[in-house]
Structure 1
């Protein structure tokens, strides 16, 4: 997906190399574009003089060392989620980035759907009013074929289950709109697959202003959907249900009586942008060239990992967990039980 996005953004990127330990796969992907070399040793990427930015799409358990190697090799880094295994590791990477003068952008491509961006604009402008309740549903299907990859379903290599690897996208969408919650309560279970990690969850979230949200997540649904519904004082916003692009249009916005004109005017004024990986990578290229803040930062990854950490702690200890976690909380060092 990254290579195809870069291909669409030729004005900003030139892909010069593809690396995979599977040589035939590296050759295949390199062949999607012209003049791209295929390599099997990541060290060749870290040290290549003609590479400025490295996009890391490897199994999550490899991210921490690979991001550091790329930074110390003088590269800026784009890295898939989950970025690393713990809040502490995010903090370590932030120190290394500062030391080397290079940057890391975690991938949260769902943020850039135009439906979600229109809602964020309404909230940012104060049009939506006070938030009341949000409902988040993730019903996906992951079975034996998915978990046949030996690194999936294991704490040491996938780093987490449905909360970390799947629902994090939908949680990030809610946090983008509402901010970081003040407290969470979660029930997490492994019900669908014979794996170490979780594949089912039911979550409640509470914000400092008293507003609430629920998340239900399963990897055992025959019919796949993703859905968000936000209820505010002045409007209700509901996404579509496509499982992997529900941040895209169409979204339905329904104003409460007396607020129709203001909501309609704000929606009409919103200018849509590019979406998904293309949307994030285009914004990244523009921000990087201008020396401006990246569209997704290490702090974004740290906040999301802290939230997911709190959910696992809540489930294991059967209690509400408040955020932010205490600076000396041992859970900040890793999610694995």
Structure 2
């Protein structure tokens, strides 16, 4: 079994990657270096993990002993850093949102196709016994057709959170709570319910002095004909995430855990005894998928070892960015937006608010 050497770029969210994956899976990965522009974070990581620290991203890309570049920087940096790391022949892991437009996602996909390295976006909330069990039931055809779903993201962020300069702006964060916080549970919803065909969205800023939205709702129609509703807010006194999925044969309800909504056990309701027995037998046979970053990185290691595609793909990130694009376009115009967008649609270059921010 190979051990892959990793450089983590960005030591905010990146510390979670290190603690839950690189340090937790020592037979599969070795943290070789860390990179950050902040001296305090860099020195703390050097001391905590006993590894080399640097501010020079390009120098890390030039090293032959780095196999994986783990990008955890602010969203506006993802595109140039991902492209540079793929050009250097590295495997690349990148935090959400992978990019700020469908055009940029396409550029990343083209760069991956030219590179010996693979690109894996981060959607760690898929990894938990609750979400993975639901996916196995859907894949087995036991859930039946999808009917309706709701996703709720009610988190709390204070003024200190938004005091970090890149947060809360269209130009650097690329969006608000729909882009930064609720993207996880929305990915899980479409991963289980199927592709989205139409979106009507509303957004507002109710609590924070920021450019981007802190409150949002959306109505979805899936390609299957099922319907969905999304709500997100980051000034809620009660922090929770909740996903409720109604299928023909079973309903799934997640935990309320805000930062590990995929974790089990999820509540399942199954009225038909025969289907209940089949689902019970399937569930009993499932392996432990691991939680969050541990589960996703372990699955990535397996893919690298077997030559399989990454367990989360650029196509998965494209679906998430397509949903965001349609949401922001709808909120801007007051009209429903249908997917997929035509190749010539100007929305593929970015949602209106972000485009204005980048032009400023």
TM-score w.r.t. length of structure 1: 0.97
Q: 1:79 aligns with which of 79, 94, 97?
A: 94
CA distance, structure 1, for counterparts of residue 339 and residue 326 of structure 2: 8
In the TM superposition, what is the alpha-carbon distance from 1:117 to its structure 2 partner? 0.6
Which SS does the other structure have where 1:26 is aligned? helix
Aligned to 1:95: 110
Aligned to 1:282: 298
Instruction: Count matched residues.
Output: 336
Which SS does the other structure have where 1:324 is aligned? coil
Aligned to 2:154: 139
Matched, 1:156 2:156: no
Matched, 1:244 2:246: no
Which SS does the other structure have where 2:196 is aligned? coil
Which SS does the other structure have where 1:31 is aligned? helix
Aligned to 2:347: 331
In the TM superposition, what is the alpha-carbon distance from 1:269 to its structure 2 partner? 2.5
Matched, 1:29 2:45: yes
Alpha-carbon distance change, 100 to 131 in structure 1, aligned in 2, over 3 angstroms = closer
1:228-253 deviation line (CA, Å, top 9, x unaligned): 11111111111110111111012111
Q: 2:216 aligns with which of 201, 224, 233?
A: 201
CA distance, structure 2, for counterparts of residue 263 and residue 15 of structure 1: 40
CA distance, structure 2, for counterparts of residue 292 and residue 267 of structure 1: 24
**8 Å contact 2:195–2:223 — kept in the other structure?**
no
Q: 1:321 aligns with which of 310, 318, 337?
A: 337
Which blocks of at least 5 consecutive residues in structure 2 are unaligned?
1-15
Which SS does the other structure have where 1:18 is aligned? strand
Q: 1:122 aligns with which of 137, 140, 159?
A: 137
Which SS does the other structure have where 1:16 is aligned? strand
RMSD (Å), alpha carbons: 1.2
1:48-67 deviation line (CA, Å, top 9, x unaligned): 22111100111111111111
1:22-64 deviation line (CA, Å, top 9, x unaligned): 1332121122223x10111111211122111100111111111
Which blocks of at least 5 consecutive residues in structure 1 are unaligned?
none
